[in-house]
Structure 1
Amino acid sequence: MSESKALGRWKGRLSAAALVLSLGASQALAQAPVPTTIALPAQSLLFAPVYIAQEQGFFRDRGINAKIIYVAGPGVINAMLGKSADFTLISGGIQIAAAARNQTLLAIANTQNRFTTDIVIREPVAQKLGVSASADVMTKVRALKGLTIGVDAINGLPHSFLRFLAIKAGMNPEADLTITALQPPAMVAALKGGTIDAMVFSPPFSLLAVKEGGIRWISGPEVQLPELKSFPYNVVLVRPDYCDAEKARCQGFVAALKDAIALMKSDPGASLQALSKSFNKMEPDILKASYEVFAPFAQSDMKLTGAMLENVIAFDRISGIIASEAKLPPESALYSTAFTP
């Protein structure tokens, strides 16, 4: 073979190799995880699927580079509408309340189908009430009359839960209860210090309050009221048109949470290990106890149904979070089953 032919063949091989490398680099760039912001209303084990999906790499496996930010209570709605976040998880009750104010977000999945909000009361206060620990829920609710009670945000989920129970018990929550808004760690401290008589929140903070001497007065799963069964307790929300433009990202986000919930059901040890990274300052016994509250109610199929929507709208109207005559967008604007087939 002549020197010129050998040189030409060698250059051809180099060009082919360069093309393969170039295509590989382009594919790698195309598959690189996309930065995605998730707004959460608080750091809570309620959002265990999010933390597990992040720590276990389930988001990254689905092409998502997740960043978590915290915006207190219903403030996540404004963060979403202002495009500071791409996804949020919050109670369906908050979603409906926002929709009644023309702040409509679309629910594409639901991670939990029962209330796990607790009411914790100071032990000295409970002793003065003279109500048995085995009393029915409505009797315990009526015993709260006249107390000062902490919630994380006015018109947030804990506040709406308290109002709902009070109205169901025949009380006037505005006149019969004194409400004060505090961040969860401050609520625990205020309860211990006697600044408030009771607090409404979910684990781990409700369990921390019990550990500090409080009494778990009412536990969400104990409340057997029709509106709270099959309830969209923790929905995944997006802006109305977001998934039209980002269908793959929405599919990947829901799939990653499904993977996390599957791990919660099959391997509590691995799930707790993943959560310990996000909650590294939490005492292991509180972390485990909190996980055991949420895990049974994590919804494996993440489905949303018309019955759930009816229940949450009834809950909002009864609790007064929305007016009884408030007009709402059509179902198709409030929830989609496209991502939970």
Structure 2
Amino acid sequence: MFAGAMALCASAALANDKIRVGLSSDGLLFVPAFVADVMGYYEEEGLDVELTILGGATKVYAALVSGEVEFSISSSVSILRGRAGGTDMTMLGAAMDQHASNIVATRQWFEKTGLTRDSTYEERLKALKGITIAVASAAGGSAQLVRFLAGEAGVDPERDMTLTVLGVGDTTLAAFARRRVDAITHSSPVAVQAIREHDGVMLFHMSGGQVPAYNGFLYLTYTGLESWIKEHEDQTVRFLRAMQKAHKAIRDPATAEAVRDKVHAKYHARIDDALYADAWADYASAFPASIEINGEMVDRVNELAAKVENADPVLPEHVAASWTNDYAAEAAKGLNAN
């Protein structure tokens, strides 16, 4: 199946193949794609990769389905739903295996509730009753996360909590700084910035695996269309090999700082050095050492998504068709992913 791919990868005369990768933003969630660029891993694999920032997950899915991009880094839940809806979107590897949005509380609220840095998960859940918490949208991922935690705590999110829709970025941070909310749900660097600059305290460290249900959860995946992949198996393996190299570089203490600084300089120079270092450290362990996936991981996504969204799970035949590890496994050959 992959003999052609191996021969192509070994050829010094290999011409670079053009590949477009769709991303919803240039945020830190997509760091491996940037690492593969600045470290030259795409070029090593004979690929000319264009990272296309499309401004939202919906636009990424549309671009993938229409053929405007060959690959994307996308939510595993959305790919499952898309497959059930009739597309041939296919998960090819694990890009991130922790939830990206941390929950940061104001120190005033945190201490008022009697919490300390050593408080257990259960104690933190009990404190949620009466909280006012900022979410990006009324029905989006951050709101679903808060409602899930409310369920874990045994409180009614509509009656016992106030979810305030503030969008993302500066608006959320400003509300937090002015103490108009008790907590925010946001990815880094905003979550880290709330702690560093506005006296925030980590309430639920999602990217660090603090919430058991989401610890090791297949959050983001490398995704392509099955129809395209089957006609371009060699390019698929080479793309995933570049991503596996990126994951290894992020987690390797010998290369991590140099890799971070290169990505910062090219993609995120607008972010303060110290803040960037903290945000990078917050996410580094959320990019798994191996990008390989398996059925147990995908089944877990299906089960948790159904619970969080209060929806029926995706049917087993759609789940089985929604992923493959063949290409990631081939890409990992000869590379030390540990």
Q: Give the drift of 1:110.
A: 0.3
Q: 1:125 aligns with which of 91, 97, 109?
A: 109
Structure 1 unaligned regions, length at least 5: 1-26
Q: d(CA) in 2 for partners of 1:153 and 1:82?
A: 27
Q: d(CA) in 2 for partners of 1:236 and 1:57?
A: 19
Greater shift in the superposed pair: 41-50 or 68-77: 68-77
Aligned partner of 2:233: which letter? K
Q: d(CA) in 2 for partners of 1:103 and 1:178?
A: 33
Q: 5 Å matches for 1:76-91?
A: 76-91=60-75
The aligned length equals: 312
Q: Give the drift of 1:216.
A: 1.4
Aligned partner of 2:283: which letter? F
Q: 1:296 aligns with which of 279, 285, 289?
A: 285
1:323 aligned to 2:311?
Answer: yes
Q: d(CA) in 1 for partners of 2:148 and 2:221?
A: 19
Q: 1:337 aligns with which of 325, 330, 335?
A: 325
Distance 1:126 1:84, change over 3 A: farther
Residue 309 of structure 1 aligns with which residue? 298
Q: 5 Å matches for 1:2-41?
A: 31-34=15-18, 36-41=19-24
Q: 2:251 aligns with which of 265, 274, 277?
A: 265
Residue 107 of structure 1 aligns with which residue? 91
**C-alpha contact (below 8 Å) 2:143/2:163 kept by paired residues:** no
Q: 1:234 aligns with which of 220, 223, 232?
A: 220
How well do the aligned residues superpose, as a CA RMSD in angstroms?
Answer: 2.8
Q: 2:147 aligns with which of 133, 151, 163?
A: 163
Q: d(CA) in 1 for partners of 2:20 and 2:93?
A: 17
Residue 60 of structure 1 aligns with which residue? 43
Aligned partner of 1:251: which letter? V
Q: Give the drift of 1:303.
A: 0.8
Aligned partner of 1:333: which letter? A
Residue 193 of structure 2 aligns with which residue? 208
Instruction: State the SS of the aligned residue for 1:297.
Output: coil
Distance 1:223 1:30, change over 3 A: closer
Aligned partner of 2:99: which letter? F
- TM-score normalised according to structure 2 size: 0.81
Percent of residue pairs bearing the same amino acid type: 18
Instruction: State the SS of the aligned residue for 1:232.
Output: coil
Q: d(CA) in 2 for partners of 1:64 and 1:107?
A: 22
Residue 184 of structure 1 aligns with which residue? 169
Instruction: State the SS of the aligned residue for 1:145.
Output: coil
Q: If you compute each CA radius of gyration, which structure gives the higher value, 1 or 2?
A: 1
Q: 2:229 aligns with which of 239, 243, 257?
A: 243
- TM-score normalised according to structure 1 size: 0.80
